[in-house]
């Protein structure tokens, strides 16, 4: 790995973590395109820079969390199904899902199609987006968590599946995105800690490695912060169509690159 690699991966993580386009898929394929060896340190690096994105959520929403403790409790309930699935299927997720290019590409396509279908229902007034976050109950929180559990498959997108599930429940797009940000904190934090625990015996740290981690973390933090602010403003006035189109175009490009 080089400093440039660390900057690029930090940018990819920060930009894609909260957009409904799958950060995991982008990190996997970016590493392959850059021909970065998938060493234990590289795996840890990809996990570690996610903490930069999480810090951005805390930095941006700390006051909101203090003022809306009930919504935070709902987010913790939503976290439970994902935690269970991630723990039970950890080995399969890491050794099968993360290594299967066409499963990731298929996931990009399928969720993209779902975005198109949902926006079609909204345009035909078959689905009305009127709900706000303070209307979430524990049952809905659990359903959202069950849907987020599907994001253990790279390409699905944790934020994407949360947003589209909440839209189907009638929640506004921007509020659905905001809930996905809050839900990311326990989800990614615990996943990162568990990954670190599993890799604790194999990671070798050097002075150079610490520099790469610091650069990736900082770039991820800054870009995630800016991306979240942009996404909320964008979804107040626009639909998910742009992300659906992007997912399909990316899938086509990846098929051509990795065939």
What's the pLDDT at 46? 87
Report the C-alpha gap between 6 and 224 in whole angstroms.
15
Q: Is 207:197 a contact under the CB 8 Å cutoff?
A: no
What's the pLDDT at 105? 93
Query: C-alpha angle 203/59/224, rounded to 5°?
Result: 65
Report the C-alpha gap between 163 and 129 in whole angstroms.
12
* pTM given for the model: 0.93
pLDDT one digit per residue (tens) for the chain, 259 residues = 899 999 999 999 999 999 999 998 899 899 988 988 877 778 888 888 999 999 999 999 999 999 999 999 999 999 999 999 988 988 888 788 887 888 999 999 999 999 999 999 999 999 999 999 999 999 999 999 999 999 999 999 999 999 999 999 999 999 999 999 999 999 989 988 888 887 766 666 677 788 999 999 999 999 999 999 999 999 999 999 999 999 999 999 999 887 7
Q: Is 238:122 a contact under the CB 8 Å cutoff?
A: no
């Amino acid at each position: 790995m080089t400093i440039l690699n660390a900057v690029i991966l930090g940018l990819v993580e920060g930009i894609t973590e909260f957009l409904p386009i799958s950060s995991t898929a982008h990190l996997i394929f970016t590493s392959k395109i850059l021909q970065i060896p998938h060493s234990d340190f590289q795996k840890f690096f990809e996990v570690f820079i996610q903490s930069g994105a999480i810090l951005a959520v805390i930095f941006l929403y700390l006051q909101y969390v203090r003022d809306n403790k009930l919504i935070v409790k709902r987010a913790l309930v939503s976290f439970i199904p994902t935690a269970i699935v991630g723990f039970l299927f950890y080995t399969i997720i890491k050794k099968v899902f993360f290594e299967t290019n066409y499963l990731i590409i298929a996931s990009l396509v399928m969720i993209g199609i779902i975005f198109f279908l949902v926006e079609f229902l909204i345009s035909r007034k078959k689905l009305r987006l009127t709900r706000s976050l303070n209307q979430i109950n524990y049952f809905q929180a659990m359903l959202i968590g069950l849907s987020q559990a599907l994001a253990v498959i790279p390409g699905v997108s944790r934020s994407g599946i949360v947003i589209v599930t909440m839209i189907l429940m009638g929640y506004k797009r921007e509020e659905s995105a905001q809930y996905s940000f809050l839900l990311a904190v326990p989800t990614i934090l615990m996943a990162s800690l568990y990954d670190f625990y599993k890799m604790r015996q194999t990671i070798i740290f050097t002075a150079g490695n610490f520099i790469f981690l610091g650069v990736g973390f900082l770039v991820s933090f800054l870009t995630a912060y800016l991306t979240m602010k942009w996404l909320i403003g964008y979804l107040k006035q626009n639909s998910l169509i742009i992300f659906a189109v992007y997912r399909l175009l990316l899938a086509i490009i990846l098929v051509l690159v990795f065939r």
